[in-house]
Each structure stands twice: as C-alpha cells, then as structure tokens.
Amino acid sequence: MNMKKKVKIIASMFLSLVLITCFIPKHNLYAKSKPTIYIMGDSIAHSYEGNRYQNGWGQMLYRYFKHPSKKRTVHVKGASDYVDVIRYNTPELSIENWAKNGASVAIYDKYGMFQAIQKKLKKGDYVFIQLGHNEVYTQWWTGSTVSEYKTYLIDYIKKIRSKKAKPVLITPPPVNTSGKYIPYVPQYRAAMISIGKKYKVPLIDLGKKSADYFNLIGKKQARNMYVKDNMHFTPKGATTLAKILSVEIKYKSQLNPISGKVSLRTNSLYKTINKASKLKSKNITKKHGSICKRN
C-alpha cells in the first residue's frame, strides 16, 4: 500500500470519528433522573420571587449546592390555585418548593398538596418537612394539636418511604423577641424530634441551630434578619437559614448522596454554628459572628 492510500485511509477514519462524536447526544444536565428535594413548608420556606423585603429559605437553598449559576427556575402547576410551586433546576439536583403561607400539616392533606407531591416522588428523592409555625392556631381548622401533628407526620413519613424517597424533618426557626432567642413552638419541636428518633428519620434542628447562631452574633445583627412582624425573614435572614441548612445537609451521613452535592463554601460556617451551640455568651467574640457574612 502506497503512502497516498495510507493517508486517505487515516483521514477517512479520523473524519468518521469526528462525525460519530458530533452525533453522540450530550449529557443532559437537567435530566429527570437526578434527585429532587420537595419542600413542604410554610411562609418561612416560601418562595417570594421578586420580593426585596421578605424571602424564604426555600428560594435560597439551591445557592449552596454545586453549580448554582446554572440554575433554571420554572413555575410548576400546584395542587390548586392556593399553591404557587417554583422549581429550581441545577445540574446536580432540583429543588421544588411547595411551601406556602399559612400552611400546616393539615393544610397539606386537605388541599391535596401532599398527594400531588407523593405522585411525583421517585426513588432517591427527598421531602423536607418544615411545619409547626401554624399548628398553634388550633381554634382554626388549619391548626392541629400535638397529637394530631404527630399523626400527620407519621402518615407522611410512611407514604414518602413507600415511594422509595427519603423524608427529612426540619424544626421551625425562632421568632424575634426582646429576650434570648429560643426555638419556636417548643411542644411541636419536641414532637417532631421524638418522631424523628422513633422512625429513624434524619432531622435538622433548624430551630436550635438558628437560635444558637442568632444569640452568637447578638441582637443588633440578628434583628436585621427579620421583617417588621418579627416572625418572617428578610433576604439576609432567609439566606442565613439556607446556609445553616446546607451545613447540616453536608455533614449528615444520613443525607448521602445529596450531602456530597453541597458547595464547599459551608466549611467555615459549620465551625461557627458548632461554636454557637457550645460557647457561652461571655466567650463569644465579633470574629465568630462575622464568618457567616463571608460564606
């Protein structure tokens, strides 16, 4: 075989390889096979898109997973007009926020919101449940007693697991008071913690973690996390809650594999939050509180 024929054969093989490569479908960064976190929450987690005054942690959480700049936001049809569902798609996972103002464990059942989420669940998905703020209004049909609250949580946990998905319990953050920050609705928090232990459900004690952190940084800084009603959060406050949650997700072995998808920017905040839980007020310095701003 002469040199010209060899060159032609090599060139032809190279061209064929290029053409084949061009027509191989690229990996879909937004494929449905990746895990989805569904958020069952109230106004504390709700997405207030376009609102510069008040935000919820549910609209901020995607920022602390890998590749947040590639996020795509889409509106999803909810169970009824009551629900405005927003889905945050990233290459690593999706977060679908069903949190709604005034929601409670009973609301998710009575409005068909939980049933709508359950239908969408697939193996490897997560359901974050942060409810408790509105349970205390037992004089209204939206509220629930502690016993009813437990019953609803157990029912949701069993149904989530029946779809091979993973429930995650999250205690409500504190309200802004004149005194020391403490976890809100303590009787419902205790009920959620007991259910988590009994049914071996991963639990993030956002109520205690955020209260400890706010006490660490002091009232002057912490009150800027809240809007005027002293219950809901400013964009800064919602961002802080999302950071605390992302830290807890990253360092909970029960939350693999999504714990591995959390951004590494949480490392310093993890140390700070743990200091907040251990240090007494007389040992707290401004240096500790400033770490959150840098992460």
The pLDDT tens digits of the residues spanning 39-50 come to 999 999 999 999
Residue pair 180/169 in contact by the 8 Å Cβ criterion: no
Q: Positive or negative CA dihedral for 104, 78, 51, 290?
A: positive
Token digits for 219? 């009232």
* Per-residue pLDDT tens over the stretch 185-220: 999 999 999 999 999 999 999 999 999 999 999 999
Whose CA is closest to 64, among 40, 35, 90?
Answer: 90
- Phi/psi at 87 (5° precision): -110, 130
Say whether pLDDT at 121 is over 70: yes
Angle between the 235-250 and 267-278 helix axes, to the nearest 10 degrees?
Answer: 90
Greater model confidence, 244 or 272: 244
Say whether pLDDT at 253 is over 60: yes
According to the model, what pLDDT value does residue 207 have?
A: 97
According to the model, what pLDDT value does residue 170 have?
A: 98
According to the model, what pLDDT value does residue 4 have?
A: 54
According to the model, what pLDDT value does residue 218 have?
A: 94
Residue type, position 243, single letter: K
* Mean pLDDT on 102-112: 93
Distance CA 242, CA 228 (A): 20
* Mean pLDDT on 11-26: 42
Distance CA 59, CA 128 (A): 13
Q: Positive or negative CA dihedral for 168, 61, 240, 259?
A: positive
Residue pair 176/135 in contact by the 8 Å Cβ criterion: no
pLDDT confidence bin for 294, thresholds 50/70/90? very low
According to the model, what pLDDT value does residue 82 have?
A: 58
Q: Tell me whether strands 72-77 and 203-204 are parallel, antiparallel or unpaired.
A: unpaired
Distance CA 199, CA 294 (A): 37
Whose CA is closest to 151, among 184, 115, 112, 198?
Answer: 198
Q: What is the largest CA-CA distance in the chain?
A: 94
Q: Give one word for 249, left, alpha or beta, with left for phi > 0 and alpha for psi -120 to 50.
A: alpha
DSSP SS3 for 161:
helix
According to the model, what pLDDT value does residue 270 have?
A: 57
* Per-residue pLDDT tens over the stretch 128-184: 999 999 998 866 667 899 999 999 999 999 999 999 999 999 999 999 988 899 999
Q: Positive or negative CA dihedral for 185, 64, 128, 117?
A: positive
According to the model, what pLDDT value does residue 131 have?
A: 97
Q: Lowest-pLDDT range, 73-77, 90-94, 120-124, 250-254?
A: 73-77
* Mean pLDDT on 54-77: 90
pLDDT confidence bin for 63, thresholds 50/70/90? very high
According to the model, what pLDDT value does residue 61 have?
A: 96
* Mean pLDDT on 94-101: 95
* Mean pLDDT on 237-260: 92
| β-bridge mates for residue 37, sequence order | 95, 126
Greater model confidence, 144 or 286: 144
Greater model confidence, 279 or 44: 44
Say whether pLDDT at 101 is over 70: yes
Distance CA 246, CA 37 (A): 13
Please identify which residue in the block is written with the tokens 């240096």. 287
Percent of the chain with pLDDT strictly greater than 90: 63
Taking the chain, what is the end-to-end CA distance rounded to the nearest angstrom? 65
Token digits for 155? 């029912």
pLDDT confidence bin for 104, thresholds 50/70/90? very high
